[in-house]
Structure 1
Amino acid sequence: MKVTFLGTSGAVPTTVRNPSGLLVEREGDRLLFDCGEGTQRQMMRYGTGFDIEHIFLTHMHGDHIFGLPGLTQTWDFQDREKPLAIHAPTGTRSRVEQLLSATGQSPSYPIRVTQVSAGDVVLDCEEYEVRAIQNNHRTNAVGYALVEDDRKGEFDREKAEKELGIPPGPKYSKLHDGTAIEHDGRTIQPEEVVGSPRTGRRLVYTGDTRPTDGIVDASTDADLLVHDGTFGKEHRERALNTAHSTAREAAQVADDAGVKRLALTHISTRYTGRVAELESEAAERFDGTLFVADDGMQVTVPYPDSDREFAIERLD
């Protein structure tokens, strides 16, 4: 799973930070979370690809949606035919539709706008699902959790072949799929050669929010939590008044949830050149892997049982 940060600024862009956008690539599926102004150019710049069927909006503030008209129009110019689904919080469908038709023209390909509430399974795929989660902002808003299904346990090929005398072939597949087989006059149960199910990955993207119990619950043991970290502790009152989080508060959520890694995003322009302060404050509450996300940063999230390492790459 690769996570590319397309936009990591707060409400106002800077010369190095675009408004909010996050692209997740999982086994060939590309999912876009939020679409701030200039998102399509960021996608080109960082080579993420444009083959997207689902866009997940956390809320309708401009820095999270103003990239939609341009991106959908570009797809129209490219003669897109594939349907697009845009998921947005309950009560916002008409506003999304008005934004898409702001130029007076509608794309020639089908666009479906769905409304979601915390607790909804927004996207249900064969190996994973995307759920809307509770957050707390100044408007109708949700976060999202991408949760993979458990995977099959590892197949002990050596035991099957050498101890049980089962030659490689269709019987291996049946056992791995959970079906008992007959071999040399005895019944072989799957658990004799197949280990326990292996945990899938969990990615949580909060959008703009105060810390909430719902985020803690949704982020339990998450492999990566991408949390609003707009302010430092010096602006805690402003965080309260604007329904954002400080870096320290985001770190407390990460600690309470037992996440493996925390990425702070939606960084206020006040901290241009000072993001080390946010990391330092967060480190006081969370001792796992921690970083302030930058535009063009791409992280690779391995399976929990994988020998591969969590990796951070800068694409520019």
Structure 2
Amino acid sequence: MQVTFLGTSGAIPTVQRNTSGIFVNRDGDYLLFDCGEGTQRQMMRYGTGFGIDHVFLTHLHGDHVLGIPGLLQTFDFNDREEPVAIHTPAGTRGNVTQLIESTGTTPSYPVRVNEVSAGDTVLDREEYEVRAVETDHRCIAVGYVLAEDDRKGEFDREKAEEELGIPPGPKYSKLHRGEPVEHDGRTVQPEEVVGPPRPGRTFVYTGDTLPTQSVVDASEGADLLVHDATFAEDRRDRAQATAHSTAKDAAEVARQAGVRSLALTHVSTRYAGQADTLAAEAREAFDGEVILAEDGLERHVQFPDSE
């Protein structure tokens, strides 16, 4: 799972930071979370490609959605035929449709706008799912959790071959799939040579939000939590007034959830050239890895048992 930060600024883009956008390559499935102005250029700049079929919007503030018309138009210029699904918080379908049609043109390929609510399974794949999670912002908003299914347990080839005398071949595959096999006059059960299921990876993206228990619960044990960290503690009052989090707030969520890595994003322009302050304050509250997200940062999300 490769996460590319396309835009990490707050409401206003800067020379160093574009508005919100995160590209996730989950083993060849390309997913886009939020699509601020200029996102398509960031996709070209950082080499993610345009092969996305699903766009997940956290809310409809301009810095999270104004890149949609341009991106869809580029798809059209590239003769796209495959459908695109845009997932948006419940009650906002009409707004997204108006945004798509704002240029007076309609894409020549199918575009489906799907409303989602907290708790919904938004995308259900064979090996993972994307769920919507409740957040707390100044408008209708959700966050998203990409959670992989458990993986098969490790296959003990040495035991299978040396202790049980099973030669390499189709029986190994059947056992690893959880099917018993007959060998030397007895039935060999999968659990004799296959370890317990191993956890998959979990990625969480909050969008803009105050710190909330719902995000803590949804992020429990996550491998990467990307959390709103618009302000430092010097602007805590402003964070409360605008329904954003401070870096310390984000770190406290990460600590309570027991995540492995925390990435701070949606950095206010007030901290241009001083964003390290956010990381420093977060590290005081969270002992795990703290990443100050920057445009173009690529993060490979490891399996929990890879270390």
Indicate whether the TM-score tops 0.5: yes
Say whether 1:73 aligns with 2:73.
yes
User: Are 2:251 and 1:257 equivalent residues in the alignment?
Assistant: no
Q: Does 1:127 align with 2:142?
A: no
After superposing the two structures, state which structure 1 stretch, 121-130 or 172-181, moved more. Answer: 172-181
**Who is 1:53 aligned against?**
53
Q: What are the Cα deviations for residues 53-85 of structure 1, in whole angstroms up to 9, with x where unaligned?
A: 000000000000000000000000111000000
Amino acid at match of 1:124: D
2:193 is the alignment partner of 1:193: yes
Letter in 2 for 1:127: E
State the match for 2:106 in structure 1.
106
Residue 284 of structure 1: SS of its match in structure 2?
A: helix
**Is 1:233 matched with 2:233?**
yes
SS at match of 1:295: coil
Could you tell me how far 1:170 is from its partner in structure 2? 1.1
Q: 5 Å matches for 1:75-224?
A: 75-224=75-224
Identity %: 68
Aligned equivalents of 1:287, 1:271: Cα separation in 2: 23
Q: CA deviation at 1:3?
A: 0.4
2-structure distance, mates of 1:289, 1:151: 25
CA distance in 1, matches of 2:276, 2:142: 28
Give the alignment's Cα RMSD to 1 decimal: 0.6
In 2, Cα distance between equivalents of 1:146 and 1:29: 12
- Describe the SS at the equivalent of 1:101: helix
- Residues in 1 aligned to 2:170 and 2:93: alpha-carbon distance in whole angstroms: 50
1:10 CA displacement:
0.2
Q: 1 CA distance for matches of 2:104 and 2:291?
A: 42
- 1:6-85 equivalences under 5 Å are 6-85=6-85
Return the letter of the residue paired with 1:226. Answer: V
Shift, 1:230, TM fit: 0.1
Deviations 1:193-237 (A, max 9, x none): 000000000000000000001100010010000000000001001
Aligned to 1:314: none
- Matched residue, 2:279: 279
Match of 1:305? 305
1:228-279 CA distances to partner (integer Å, 9 max, x unpaired)? 0000001001100100000000000000000000000000000001111111
Distance 1:132 1:78 in 2: 31
**Which letter maps to 2:205?**
Y
How many residue pairs get aligned? The number is 307
Distance 2:18 2:3 in 1: 16
Deviation, structure 1 residue 138 = 0.4
Q: Where does residue 246 of structure 1 map in the other structure?
A: 246
Q: Which amino acid aligns with 1:18?
A: N
For residues 103 and 211 of structure 2, what CA distance do their matches in structure 1 show?
Answer: 37
The 2-side partners of 1:55 and 1:197 are apart by: 31
Q: Which runs of 5+ in 1 are unaligned?
A: 308-316
Hey, what's the Cα distance between the residues in 2 that align with 1:241 and 1:83? Answer: 39
2: CA distance between counterparts of 1:9 and 1:30? 22
Q: 2: distance between equivalents of 1:162 and 1:66?
A: 61
Give, in angstroms, the shift of residue 292 of structure 1: 1.1
CA distance in structure 1 between the aligned counterparts of 2:135 and 2:261, rounded to whole angstroms: 19
Deviation at residue 167 of structure 1 after TM alignment? 1.0
Q: Distance in 1 between matches of 2:120 and 2:83?
A: 21
Measured in 2, the distance between the counterparts of 1:277 and 1:42 equals: 25
User: 1: CA distance between counterparts of 2:67 and 2:33?
Assistant: 12
Quote the residue 1:310 is aligned against: none
Distance 1:157 1:35 in 2: 46
Q: Which residue of 2 aligns with 1:288?
A: 288
SS class of match (2:34): strand
Runs (4+) off by over 2 Å: none
Aligned counterparts of 1:276 and 1:103: Cα–Cα separation in 2 = 40
Q: Spell out, residue by residue over 1:8-27, the C-alpha distance to the aligned partner (whole angstroms, 9 max, x if none).
A: 00001100100000000011
Counterpart-to-counterpart distance in 1, 2:296 and 2:280: 22
- Equivalent position amino acid for 2:179 in 1: T
Q: Distance in 2 between matches of 1:244 and 1:24?
A: 24
Q: Distance in 2 between matches of 1:103 and 1:272?
A: 33
Question: What SS does the aligned partner of 1:35 have?
Answer: coil
Amino acid at match of 1:240: Q
After TM superposition, the score normalised by the length of structure 2 is 0.99
Whole-angstrom CA distance in 2 between matches of 1:230 and 1:35: 18
